[in-house]
Structure 1
């Protein structure tokens, strides 16, 4: 009797253990082994930024200075940058010149004459920076480096306007910077006109309105662009007899300027006026 009771108790205990959640086969299969459980890393430490993230934090000026410094220390890298960088456009270049021009204008003192010696001394550094940039950028748009005459002419048109806007100083010696800039710009115009006249007989000069623009630049500069005017006259001279009769209004005025350029009478008897700064 007692033996049968003990056996029954053992059977009940075995059944209870088989129903325990901890011993359930389904639960055991869901629990990962202790050896492959992911542990939280506790040894995190500071480190430098990856290069792409570091470059994202740099301003354009900081990036430019960094790149220039690297190129100066490693000329081979500088050569690679020159050969692979996008070609500067007219718009981007004129925007850079506009930035220098804005810095120049912002350097003027408040009140008083803006053509005085005092004003000149205040803005001299910014003036030289502007003219140096103009001097460096201009050859990039000249032949043979620049093959498209339209591109060269468009840049020179905008760059000459920068010189027009420079003040005329009270002291004559201070005006030499502007005089030299006009002289170099006139030579640049003459070179481009000479090359453009060789292509398609200079038709681009005739029908692009450049004769009028160059004549206007010469007028505003007080005759400082005469070298360009002379080159244009020589380039268009052969077409003088073939020029069609003008219609009226603006076309007649344009043709009148063209004829004056061809016969060398443009600007005679008229005084050039330069607008106030």
Structure 2
């Protein structure tokens, strides 16, 4: 049985037996930062494997070949992003670790010649920037010293990501504002 058939079977069983949903939830292993990142890496690899071997790697033909894989990656990215944000994730170190590595994965997505093809990636970067802000807000609220000694490290990481993507200015401004006061 393939994955989709198995998912459909489990969904149908849960609809007919509502008590199964709770049992399945308790038996399902918890999502960890490493398992989430491994899943995202695998989905990103699928994008690269779908690119044509020859020709324009950034053109419309290449994009159309990998569009379903990109959509799958971005959907999983959004799900994991929500999962690792406070208050869903109580360990802020997990939130920060996920955000750092996930940001690297997102900026590795291809950049296309046609700006329209880059739209979904740009939207995801906007959500990611807000996720950084939300996490920094929680870190600052949880500590009397804000990020303390970690401030410089996180500012360096954010600046590195921003230099590559030019998409995380909101998060950098917020982190600066925490320590400007």
Provide TM-score, normalisation by structure 2. Answer: 0.88
Aligned match of 1:209: 153
Deviation at 1:204, TM superposition (A): 5.0
Q: Within 5 Å, give how 1:36-55 maps onto structure 2.
A: none
Aligned match of 2:20: 77
Aligned match of 1:98: 41
Distance 2:149 2:70 in 1: 32
Task: Say which one has the larger Rg.
Answer: 1
Match of 1:121 among 60, 64, 75: 64
Distance 2:149 2:171 in 1: 12
Aligned match of 2:50: 107
Deviation at 1:141, TM superposition (A): 0.5
Gaps of 5+ in 2: none
- Alignment CA distance shift 1:168-1:206 (3 Å): same
Secondary structure, counterpart of 1:112 in structure 2:
coil
Q: Within 5 Å, give how 1:57-76 maps onto structure 2.
A: 61=3, 65=7, 66-76=9-19
Deviation at 1:172, TM superposition (A): 1.1
Contact 2:158 2:172 (8 Å CA) reproduced: yes
Match of 2:30 among 87, 97, 115: 87
Contact 1:206 1:236 (8 Å CA) reproduced: no
Distance 1:237 1:73 in 2: 56
Deviation at 1:153, TM superposition (A): 0.5
Aligned residue pairs total 179
Aligned match of 2:117: 174
Aligned match of 1:10: none
Contact 1:197 1:205 (8 Å CA) reproduced: no
Distance 1:144 1:237 in 2: 26
Gaps of 5+ in 1: 1-57, 239-277
Larger proportion of helix: 2
Distance 2:19 2:77 in 1: 27
- Alignment CA distance shift 1:176-1:195 (3 Å): same
Distance 2:149 2:83 in 1: 21
Provide TM-score, normalisation by structure 1. Answer: 0.59
Q: CA RMSD in A?
A: 2.2
Higher relative contact order (CA 8 A, sep 6+): 2
Secondary structure, counterpart of 2:52 in structure 1:
coil
Deviation at 1:69, TM superposition (A): 4.7
